[in-house]
A and B are shown apart, each in its own frame.
Chain A
Amino acid sequence: MQAETELIRLDKITKNYRIGHEWFPALNGISHVIERGEFVAIMGPSGSGKSTLMSILGCLDGPTAGDYFLNGKKVSDLSENQRTEIRNREIGFVFQAFNLIPRTTTLENIELPMLYGNVRKKIARAKALEKLELVGLADKKNNRTNQISGGEMQRVAIARALANDPPLILADEPTGNLDTKRSNEIMDFIRMLNREKGITVIIVTHEPDIGGYAQRRIHMRDGLIEREN
């Protein structure tokens, strides 16, 4: 039962960007499968296409050619509105710069994906509190996002990523703005989510230490998967 075990299938994905009058290839036909429950790191130097791949995996952008199946649905040729719904329900994003909404409370940040997904306000509030407890910040629920530390911000961001209980978490350099101690705390927590909650995790990083947390590392170069280990 292949369809039930695989979460992501990429089939000859290419992506070209136009810079001025020239077309610049970012992905050159990537085919790959990620199973449910995997913890995968995408690694590679800048310009290797890992950010572009991340954008496509996150449904932030569509491929120029090729097919992308996520959770059994073909998402490569969806409209912007449909891609938005996929992002909202199927994917939790964790960014390097945390990307919390400024001047709102931690709880409100976590509610946001649920409100955009038409979850009722009362239910959203209860679930947001639950997620905040999960990341150990229940006592900071009324703090504004500028009143907490960087490590705490990233934990709030993880709680927000979990809000709609997505099967996939995409983390783009999640520890890039944190010191080693906080980095390890965050990575331990992400690994716990993967192991105990069965959430598929894909992280993008160029740090071997962080890549070490993953079960599998995909190394990219020039828009192709160079090797994996």
Chain B
Amino acid sequence: MNITTTISFSVRALMKNKFRSFLTLLGIIFGVGAVIMVMSLGYGAQLNIEERFAGMSNNLSVMPGSRSVGRVSTGAGGVNTLTLEDALAIADECPNISYVSPLVSTRSMVIYKSTNWPTTVQGVGSDFPVIGDWQIDAAKGDGRFFSEDEVHAGLKICVLGAEVYSQLFGGADAVGEIIRINRQPFTVIGVLAAKGQIGGFGNRDDVIMMPYTTAMSRLLGKVDSSINQIQLSATSTDALNAAIAEVTELLRRRHHIEASDGSADDFTVRNVAEVVSLAQSSTETMTSLLVAIAAVSLLVGGIGIMNIMFASVTERTREIGIRRAIGAKPRDIRLQFLIEAVTLCLIGGLLGILAAVGGAAILESVFKSRTAIPPNAILIAFGISTGVGTFFGYYPAFKASKLNVIEALRYE
């Protein structure tokens, strides 16, 4: 018997019990749907990370580390071991570094007319937009970022993040307006293009940037020159390792740390690419965990298939006997029931993809989680459907093929 005839027998057997077939399908629909939906959550998070760090693959950041005095460690960030002079020295002495910006940051209340808004104020250098891939939003006034000269002059000027702009100004023109930060007036010279809100990373547009000189003297009132971070950009991705070595060597020298006598560094150089791969691997771990949980529902669906196939075999015992009597080999019977199970699962898989698309849309609109159906989802869905159908359909089909012909013919 050829395969197309067997398939048509199987499909028709399913059509005869539409409602029962549908109920059985539900198990597979939910199983495949849950697996694909979870994968789309993971894939969405993956895309988020990629976009968040797009154009920043050359970046390094230097964070303060812990300082040990004897056996007492202050803990990371416990002491501000990084200084403005460190940042300037890196700019002067490291050939593999193309851009440098110190970074200080504080929370402040910002007021414009009668509106106020608490936000993060970052003091940065003029290289910062290049390092962090920030653009000026030309649609919101004829703005610009501050220049190196303006940084040196310590002018009371600032650039608004998109979120701060919309909270304070709505849609009005902001460039040239005066806002108050900690009761001091600052002139707005530009509005940044939105980077968009990304789940898990906070809203990066809720920020105000000003020259670090201004931030340190006017807002932080610093008596020393300690800073929170140094942001760096290497000349190329290939130069990253050389850049890390240069920066580390320079800072050790400046901080009088002898690596040879076992002293620990009081700073940490972080490679953005490493941060990305760390974030991605943790997303992957989370996704596989969730997929494993979703797969349990697939298992339950598969058991449903097995159950219904056993019922179907018992119900059609006599039909099996007739077929066997007039020339169906055990193999023909086995194939017929196996194809029935696999067909059920494939239809379930197809509907499962649709369910996943719907579920993902709900996740996005209700929970604001970014989702994206992975491009190989259809392949995966059909793969697991066929797998489940074959695995759970085989035993009932095998039982059907082993029925005793004479007893099956007498079965009432």
The interface of chain A, by Cβ under 8 A from chain B, is 55, 58, 60-61, 80-81, 84-85, 87-89, 93, 95, 99-104, 112-113, 115-118, 121, 160, 164
B221 at the interface (CB under 8 A from A): no
B1 touches A116 (CB 8 A): yes
Stretch at the interface among B234-242, B260-268, B315-323: B315-323
Report how far A100 CA is from B109 CA in the complex, Å. 86
- A95-B409, A102-B319, A116-B328 given; name 6 further pairs at CB < 8 Å: A58-B325, A60-B409, A81-B330, A101-B323, A112-B323, A118-B2
The 15 sampled A-B contact pairs (Cβ below 8 Å) are A81-B330, A84-B328, A84-B329, A89-B327, A93-B326, A99-B322, A102-B319, A104-B12, A112-B323, A112-B327, A113-B326, A116-B1, A116-B326, A117-B327, A121-B2
Q: Which residues of A contact B326 (CB under 8 A)?
A: 87-88, 93, 112-113, 116, 160
Contact of B332 among A100, A102, A116 (CB under 8 A): A116
Report how far A102 CA is from B331 CA in the complex, Å. 21
* A95-B409, A101-B319, A121-B5 as given contacts; A84 in contact with B16, CB under 8 Å: no
Report how far A99 CA is from B405 CA in the complex, Å. 13
Report how far A101 CA is from B322 CA in the complex, Å. 8
Q: Which residues of A contact B16 (CB under 8 A)?
A: 103
B289 at the interface (CB under 8 A from A): no
The residue in chain A whose Cβ has the minimal distance to the Cβ of B322 is A99
Contact of A55 among B2, B327, B328, B406 (CB under 8 A): B406
A60 touches B2 (CB 8 A): no
Contact of A115 among B1, B319, B324, B329 (CB under 8 A): B1
**Least distance between B400 CB and chain A CB atoms (Å):** 14
| Complex interface bits, B374-412 against A, C-beta within 8 A gives 1, otherwise 0 | 000000000000000000000000000000011001000
A87 touches B406 (CB 8 A): no
* A55-B406, A99-B409, A116-B332 as given contacts; A88 in contact with B318, CB under 8 Å: no
Q: Which residues of B contact A103 (CB under 8 A)?
A: 16
Contact of A88 among B321, B322, B327, B330 (CB under 8 A): B327
Report how far A112 CA is from B405 CA in the complex, Å. 17
| Complex interface bits, B14-32 against A, C-beta within 8 A gives 1, otherwise 0 | 0010000000000000000
B325 touches A116 (CB 8 A): no
The residue in chain A whose Cβ has the minimal distance to the Cβ of B16 is A103
